[in-house]
Amino acid sequence: MNLWEKSRKIAKSAGPGIITGAADNDPSGILTYLQSGFVYGFKALWLAIFYLPLMYAVQEMAGRIGFVTDKGLVKVIKEHYPRWILYTVGFTSAFVIMVSIGADLLAIGVIAEKFSDITRFFWLPAVSVFILFFTVFLSYPKFAGALKWLTLSLLFYVATAFCVHVDWLSALKATVSPSLIFNKEYVILFAAFLGTTISPYLFFWQADEEVEERDEEKKEKHLKRFLVTKNELKHLKKETFLGMFFSQVITWFVIVVAGQTAVVYGIREITNFDQASLVLQPLLGNFAFIIFGLGIIGAGLLAVPVLAGSVGYVLSEVFNWEEGINKTFREARGFYLVIIIATFIGVAFNFLGLDPVQILIDAAVLFAFITPPLIYLVIHIANNKKIMRDKTNSPLSNFLGWSAFVVSALAVITYVIFVL
């Protein structure tokens, strides 16, 4: 088997954990990491490593809940928790996710506008229709499979790091030496970093995708029931970790090249995408903006269906509608209508004259606010023997999960004190 065939096999076998990790580096995430590097340089590097075990632990719990119960996260909440929790989680999450859809679509629209000299207000609905066409009426798995290759453009950030004069010893020291700065600017970026790294919409997405993957395997093998074995859970953990690890490695290198670029050009913060693309100039020269733009478009095209699909899963489970990207529009009409409506509500946000860079960071901050209660629910469910039977959390999973809860809660409290 040659290298190309091996690569195709790996891409084809990439499941929910890998897609989740790739979608975590959406335009909102990339701009947040770039801004962190431009403003604080290497002092922001420790966050990439610090959040890795926390995001992995919570994401693995969400995936395991779907895998063991054969139900989405909201459906489990609906069956075992009071209605007020269900509606609060469902509607609040749906609203915040739709803001993020709008932010990512705006990023795509701005890049497309620069490439074509055609207004972003043409590209916003055009790109939305393009995404919805593949997601709703064709095959999202094939669409995502093609888009996974676009995420490889993120590797240009890694390559660029080796083309500039990085003080690697200083970078490594900063990675293992936490830097806390108690001012408004740092608190905002810390909250945004949290919201775009431990992203609540991915909890819903991965739980439901694990359910769908299970159901597909049952159909293919003509199984009446699906036994949850240790090997299956081991595979889920491995896949989830690989997705999260890839995401954070990219994050680390994005911050490195952003910090180095800030020194070279004397830029204190990013105010537009032209400045952001300068990080790739040492490697790509005049092609820097083109590759940067293609990376943003690819990341956005991968993330928007995941975001919209998460809203579809959430509201379908609240109202007991048929759901699933493995179903046709006729089979899951309500689910797909929610995806369509959520996407166009995201488009509508952008007719308010929003600043493209600022809204991407603000969307990440909004996620930070709903993260603590959702992490709490995920941990509570993952420890409930009535729900999870003998597949509850290990002591390590609980330690990491509660650590994620405490960190996210402190981030929100600090934001309220210093910013609001």
Q: Distance between CA atoms of 126 and 228, rounded to whole angstroms?
A: 43
Tell me, what's the pLDDT at 179? 85
Tell me, what's the pLDDT at 234? 84
Tell me, what's the pLDDT at 9? 43
Total domains in the chain come to 1
Residue 151 inside a domain? The answer is yes
Residue 3 inside a domain? The answer is no
* pTM, two decimal places: 0.87
Residue 258 inside a domain? The answer is yes
Contact call for residues 381 and 388 (beta carbons, < 8 A): yes
- Report residue 409 as tokens: 């809660």
| Ramachandran area for residue 320 (φ above 0: left; ψ -120 to 50: alpha; else beta) | left
Q: What average pLDDT does the chain have?
A: 86
End-to-end CA distance of the chain: 57
Residue 217 inside a domain? The answer is yes
Tell me, what's the pLDDT at 38? 93
Tell me, what's the pLDDT at 146? 65
What range defines the domain where residue 49 resides? 14-418
- Report residue 352 as tokens: 């308010």
Residue 221 inside a domain? The answer is yes
User: What confidence tens digit (pLDDT) does each residue in 332-389 have?
Assistant: 899 999 999 999 999 998 888 888 889 999 999 999 999 999 999 999 999 999 999 8
Contact call for residues 269 and 253 (beta carbons, < 8 A): no
Residue 271 inside a domain? The answer is yes
Instruction: Give the CATH number of the domain where residue 160 resides.
Output: 1.20.1740.10
Return the CA Rg of the chain.
20
Q: Distance between CA atoms of 244 and 250, rounded to whole angstroms?
A: 10
- Report residue 148 as tokens: 């996974």
Q: Which residues of the chain have pLDDT under 50?
A: 1-18, 21-22
Residue 4 inside a domain? The answer is no
Residue 123 inside a domain? The answer is yes
Tokens 């600022």 label which residue?
358
Extract the runs of DSSP E, i.e. beta strands, from 47-123. Answer: none
Tell me, what's the pLDDT at 394? 92
Tell me, what's the pLDDT at 182? 82
Three-state DSSP state, 117: coil
Tell me, what's the pLDDT at 140? 65
